[in-house]
Amino acid sequence: MEMRVRPTPERPGPALLFGAALLTAGPAAIHFAVAPVHFEEYVPFGLFFVTVGALQLAAAAAMLFRPSRRLFLVAAAGTAGLIGLYLVSRTVGVPVGPHPWRPEMVGFPDIACTAMELVALPLFAVAAFRRPRPRRRHPVRVALAAAPATLLAVALTYVGTGTASAGMPAAYSVAPAVSGQPSTSVDLLTAPPGDEPVRTFTLTARVARVDGRDAWTYDGSVPGPELRVVQGDRLRVTLVNHLPASTTIHWHGVPGLPNAEDGVAGITQQAVAPGHSMTYEFIASAPGTYWYHSHQDTGNQVSRGLYGVLVVEPRTGPTEDRDYTVVLHNGVAGGVAANGTSELHLAGRPGERVRLRLVNAVSPGMDGTPQAPVLLGAPYRVVALDGRDLIQPEELGPQRIPIGMGQRADLVFTMPVSVCVRLVDTESQIHSSGVQSAIGSLAGAANLPSVTVGEGTRPASPRLDALPAFDPLQYGAPAADPVSAAHVDASYPIVISEQPGFHNGSIQLVHEINGAASPNIPPITVREGQVVRLHIVNDTAEYHPMHLHGHTMSVLSRNGEPVTGSPVRLDSVLVGPNETWDVVFLADNPGLWMFHCHVLLHASFGLTMPIDYAGITTPYTMGTRSGNMPE
Ligand code: C2O
Ligand code: CU
Ligand code: CU
């Protein structure tokens, strides 16, 4: 018998084999992790990913236990093919599936996977063509040699599978209709017919050059046009979409807004596609300062410029000689602007009564810091917050007035004789004394807008950082507020926390409510007529202006201390770092409503949840299939 000892010459070093196997198993795991979403999207895609995953897993096992030149040649060819297919799918798109020739988005899972495949490819080539090397190596040296590939594979597999399994779903519904169960679709929750005077507006969403940059605008300006109507008017607003993306309009803060007009993509409507239009209709029943903005891909679209103000004047006519809106917002060319400029000058003559409607549309940094303007030059009253009047507001001297993103504050004063009135922005001052604001103070310190009313010399400015902050809970006179006095029918904790993690297919500072991030936060279900209490606990060092669509929240207390002044009725409650707020609302507007942080970054990182009325359903879905992404 022939005794030929083969010195296992075909085997490349064990470290190489191990590395190659791990860098093949990693992509296999990621392909398995993305398969469910692809099955939802298109079954053949799902099958493709499962098959590729299985083949890669088998190849990884074979690399360890039965390596051969043929195996590595096949692996190299297959991997090169996958990389090629990936590049095609992300550039021109693949010819099959629900969206032929439409490039897919680049995401964390596919980057992690492709990175491993790119590193594996040369390893396969070396393994296939390396000269026989019959020497034995010490196990420690083997481990050291395999370490880089191992670390790379483990890290990328962790990121890839983590982000893939927390991917944005293809389609999900906050309240799907269940066959056999009686229900009302949001589509039916429209304004009742009536003979109110009709005010018609058209807002064209389009890209326009503003301050030398491309902005996303309504009618070519940032902010968009101010819509001014009289209490009791019926608004008919047509949104024409000339943007390269789908969009909507949400009517932020309008009391009694019919749910079908709420403008939330994937809940109350399908986002309006480019080239299409849609008309919103509702009755402006309550006077006040409101605003409107896109609620599709909101964080992105609002920061690009899609917002404007809606003022509803009282039926009894204006109460001041001059009535101005001052929108604080991100300047298109950077910094904070007021009504589109860094130097806003408003007319006013001595003795005239002036109302300034302040709107905070500034997208803050991660800390969510509010704007905190100070009015100098005249005593003033804060007559309304979020468009809801305060009772017997007293005159105030210079104070910082915190206004969270999305909130509004109306100030009224009489023009002084010889000085002008100035609104000074103190965001940077708050930042420098604030909790944790390195990022925010840099962002906020650039070009604070100057807002001046009237002529005359500039009023003297006190040290802004030493000024007290306006406290809405101890201002004005107590008065009956039926909602905050009512028996509470249902009470819910809203505990806000944050931690780094996987969310919506990427790595984020995930923001959670009661330990879950959207879309995994279970909805609160209410019934019409209920008085619902929310116990909001902020376990973070950030500000969270918590906004409830379609309703008014009455503040009960902050950190357990009750409201001692006027009732405070808001659509957005500014919950400061580590504060606890108790609010109640009357469930008087059936529909499916969002409750979310108006720091849009936080909302997109998970801080948004539905508050649903029992029996209301939606035909719309959110997710990659419909393209509806309300955050
Ligand atoms: Cu102003 Cu849901 O937003
Ligand atoms: Cu809103
Ligand atoms: Cu927040």
As a whole number of angstroms, the distance between CA 609 and CA 618 comes to 15
pLDDT band at 143 (very low <50, low <70, confident <90, very high): confident
pLDDT band at 4 (very low <50, low <70, confident <90, very high): low
Q: Separation of 267 CA from ligand 1 center, angstroms?
A: 13
Q: What is the DSSP letter of 371?
A: B
As a whole number of angstroms, the distance between CA 156 and CA 116 comes to 7
Note residues around ion ligand 3 (Cβ under 5 angstroms). 368, 544, 597, 599, 602
Q: Separation of 603 CA from ligand 3 center, angstroms?
A: 7
Atom number, ligand 1, closest to the C-alpha of residue 293: 1
Q: Which helix (H) or strand (E) holds 262?
A: none
As a whole number of angstroms, the distance between CA 80 and CA 442 comes to 45
Atom number, ligand 1, closest to the C-alpha of residue 594: 2
For 67, the token pair is 């390596």
pTM: 0.91
pLDDT value for 11: 63
Atom number, ligand 1, closest to the C-alpha of residue 630: 2
Q: Separation of 549 CA from ligand 2 center, angstroms?
A: 4
Q: Does residue 191 contact residue 232 with C-beta atoms inside 8 Å?
A: no
Q: Rounded to 5 degrees, what angle do the CA atoms 247, 312, 274 make? A: 10
pLDDT band at 440 (very low <50, low <70, confident <90, very high): very low
Across all residues in the chain, what is the average pLDDT? 92
Q: For ligand 1, atom 3, which residue shows the shortest CA distance?
A: 252
Q: Separation of 357 CA from ligand 1 center, angstroms?
A: 18
pLDDT in tens, 367-395: 999 999 999 999 999 999 999 999 999 99
Give me the phi and psi of 379, to 5 degrees please.
-65, 150
Tell me which of 120-129, 157-166, 229-238, 447-456 is least confident: 447-456
Any idea which ligand is nearest the CA of 551?
A: 2
Q: Separation of 602 CA from ligand 1 center, angstroms?
A: 12
Task: Determine the average pLDDT of the residues in 67-83.
Answer: 95
Any idea which ligand is nearest the CA of 594?
A: 1
As a whole number of angstroms, the distance between CA 542 and CA 561 comes to 21
Any idea which ligand is nearest the CA of 267?
A: 1
Q: Which amino acid, residue 146? A: A
Q: Separation of 250 CA from ligand 2 center, angstroms?
A: 6
Task: Determine the average pLDDT of the residues in 185-191.
Answer: 97
Any idea which ligand is nearest the CA of 497?
A: 3
CA dist 455 to 1, 36, 351, 594, Å? 112, 65, 13, 44
pLDDT value for 321: 98
Q: Separation of 300 CA from ligand 2 center, angstroms?
A: 16
Q: What is the DSSP letter of 618?
A: -
pLDDT in tens, 23-53: 999 999 999 999 998 998 889 999 999 999 9
Q: For ligand 1, atom 1, which residue shows the shortest CA distance?
A: 252
Atom number, ligand 1, closest to the C-alpha of residue 549: 2
Q: Rounded to 5 degrees, what angle do the CA atoms 544, 548, 554 make? A: 90
**In angstroms, how far is the first alpha carbon of the chain from the final one?**
76
For 120, the token pair is 């594996």
Atom number, ligand 1, closest to the C-alpha of residue 406: 1
Q: Separation of 572 CA from ligand 2 center, angstroms?
A: 8
Residues in the ligand 1 pocket, defined by CB under 6 Å? 250, 252, 293, 295, 406, 547, 549, 594, 596, 598
pLDDT value for 133: 60
Q: Separation of 235 CA from ligand 2 center, angstroms?
A: 17
Atom number, ligand 1, closest to the C-alpha of residue 596: 2
* Nearest of 155, 122, 109, 137 to residue 20 by alpha carbon: 122
Comparison of pLDDT for 13 and 248, the residue scoring more = 248
pLDDT value for 169: 86
Any idea which ligand is nearest the CA of 251?
A: 2
Tell me which of 242-246, 445-449, 543-547 is least confident: 445-449
pLDDT band at 181 (very low <50, low <70, confident <90, very high): confident
pLDDT value for 426: 67
Q: Which amino acid, residue 127? A: A
Q: Does residue 262 contact residue 268 with C-beta atoms inside 8 Å?
A: yes
pLDDT in tens, 309-355: 999 999 999 899 999 999 999 999 888 999 999 999 999 999 999 99
pLDDT in tens, 100-118: 898 988 999 999 999 999 9
Q: Which helix (H) or strand (E) holds 37?
A: helix 14-41
253 CB-contact burial (10 Å; exposed 0-12 / middle 13-18 / buried 19+): buried
